[in-house]
Amino acid sequence: MRLSALAWAALAALPALAAAETHVVTMEAMGFRPAELVVRPGDRVVWQNKDLVPHTATARGRFDSGEIAAGKSWAWTAPGPGRLDYVCTFHPGMKAGIVVQ
Ligand SMILES: [Cu+2]
């Protein structure tokens, strides 16, 4: 049986439909780990605050966790492709980036 062009096009699109993954970024020792994360559109990123002080994950105009208390976490779903640099608004030395590809 021959597959139609439409069927082949649908198969070619399958990788984009792969199940979304969840990635964990730890907020620890006043830093984000990993500091660089590569994800795909639709993936979830969960920030877990393992420090004893509150932090945020803030990419101005793109996402903002607000205060994440010690021991708490916050989740966000990656949008379309692009690079997002973010900081902790309480501790400007805490910087990290996410590449959505
Ligand atoms: Cu902080």
Structural domain contains residue 79: yes
Q: Residue 35 C-alpha to ligand 1 middle, in angstroms?
A: 14
CA of 99 from ligand 1 middle (Å) equals 21
Tens-place pLDDT, residues 58-98: 999 999 999 999 999 999 999 999 999 999 999 989 999 99
Q: Is residue 25 part of a domain?
A: yes
The pair of structure tokens assigned to 60 is: 């101005």
Give the range of the structural domain holding residue 76, as residue numbers without chain letter. Answer: 20-100
- Give 55 Cα–ligand 1 centroid separation in angstroms: 4
The answer to the question of residue 76 being in a domain is: yes
Alpha carbon distance 37, 2 (integer Å): 41
Q: What is the DSSP letter of 78?
A: -
32: CATH: 2.60.40.420
Ranges of beta strands (E only) in the chain are 22-28, 31-33, 36-39, 44-49, 58-59, 63-64, 73-77, 82-87, 95-100
Instruction: Report the separation in Å between the CA atom of 2 and the middle of ligand 1, taken as the mean of its atom positions.
Output: 58
How many A from CA of 54 to the centre of ligand 1?
6
* Residue count of the chain: 101
Provide the domain count of the chain.
1
10 CA to centre of ligand 1 in angstroms: 44
pLDDT given at position 27: 98
Phi, psi of 46 (to 5 degrees): -115, 125
Question: Residue 8 falls within a domain, yes or no?
Answer: no
Please indicate, yes or no, if residue 3 is contained in any of the structural domains. no
Q: pLDDT, tens digit, for every residue of 1-45?
A: 566 766 666 666 665 567 899 999 999 999 999 999 999 999 999
